[in-house]
């Protein structure tokens, strides 16, 4: 009987250990944390701001000290680095209509009041680069309501509005004139000339 109890205790302890390891792996590889780690590594240090398109494996962030702005798609498998002075603006699209925007040398267009629940919310980042002039972060879709972890449209709009303010601050500040590529990590793989998130394909 004593041996049976000992075996049961060992099995219970082993099961608990496996559960804890599994929980730790889930926590470590959670989408937002994983992308933020990639952005931090790519920028060569702590970022000043980051935004993650939850459920889309895409994100963007910048670091003023290294004069870099990075965008990522496909979980970081595709990424592009820009200098901060290449940032030209940002647009907030709700159901394919531009509801707010900031552009270099232009007054900010504030977010219009939304009368109906949106179907889709997209943050479009604009860059001075003829090869890849924009990058769409699909922040929210109506299907996200089926996920219990998804943010509400209101929370997503507030996050997007905050990012517009950060972009506006960058545009007023301008680039630092310094570029420091990360030394500990290889440069991200450039995105193709016809990125997969173009409107006529799929984000």
Tell me if 180 is assigned to some domain: no
pLDDT above 90 (res 189): no
Tens-place pLDDT, residues 73-101: 998 888 999 999 999 999 999 998 898 99
**What integer is the mean pLDDT of 155-173?**
89
Tens-place pLDDT, residues 99-151: 899 998 887 777 666 656 788 999 999 999 988 999 999 999 988 888 767 78
Q: Is 95 exposed, middle or buried (0-12, 13-18, 19+ CB in 10 A)?
A: middle
Six-digit token pair at 171? 């545009």
CB atoms within 10 A of CB 87: 21
- Residues, the chain: 203
**Alpha carbon of 105 to those of 78, 82, 168, 174: distances in Å?**
30, 19, 10, 11
Angle between helices 2-28 and 31-42 (to 10 degrees): 50
pLDDT at 147: 78
Tokens 């940032």, residue?
87
Six-digit token pair at 148? 């219990």
pTM of the model: 0.70
Domain that includes residue 115, residue range: 27-173
d(CA 64, CA 43): 10
pLDDT at 110: 73
Tell me if 5 is assigned to some domain: no
Q: How confident is the model at residue 6 (pLDDT cuts 50, 70, 90)?
A: low
Tell me if 6 is assigned to some domain: no
Q: How many structural domains comprise the chain?
A: 1
**In the predicted model, what is the mean pLDDT of the chain?**
78
Among candidate residues 73, 53, 84, 78, the one with its CA nearest the CA of residue 166: 84
**What integer is the mean pLDDT of 38-53?**
92
């Amino acid at each position: 009987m004593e041996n049976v109890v000992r075996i049961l205790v060992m099995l219970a302890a082993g099961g608990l250990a496996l559960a804890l390891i599994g929980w730790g792996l889930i926590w470590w590889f959670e989408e937002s944390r994983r992308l933020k780690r990639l952005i931090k590594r790519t920028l060569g240090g702590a970022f000043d701001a980051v935004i993650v398109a939850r459920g889309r494996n895409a994100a963007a962030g910048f670091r003023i000290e290294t004069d870099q702005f990075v965008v990522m798609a496909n979980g970081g498998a595709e990424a592009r680095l820009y200098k901060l002075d290449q940032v030209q603006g940002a647009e907030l699209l709700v159901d394919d209509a531009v509801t707010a925007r900031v552009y270099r040398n232009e007054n900010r267009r504030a977010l219009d009041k939304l009368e109906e629940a949106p179907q889709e919310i997209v943050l479009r980042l604009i860059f001075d680069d003829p090869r890849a002039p924009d990058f769409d972060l699909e922040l929210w879709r109506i299907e996200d309501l089926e996920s219990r972890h998804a943010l509400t449209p209101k929370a997503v709009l507030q996050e997007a509005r905050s990012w517009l303010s950060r972009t506006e601050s960058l545009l007023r500040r301008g680039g630092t004139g310094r570029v420091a590529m990360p030394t500990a990590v290889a440069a991200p793989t450039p995105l193709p000339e016809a990125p997969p998130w173009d409107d006529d394909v799929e984000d």
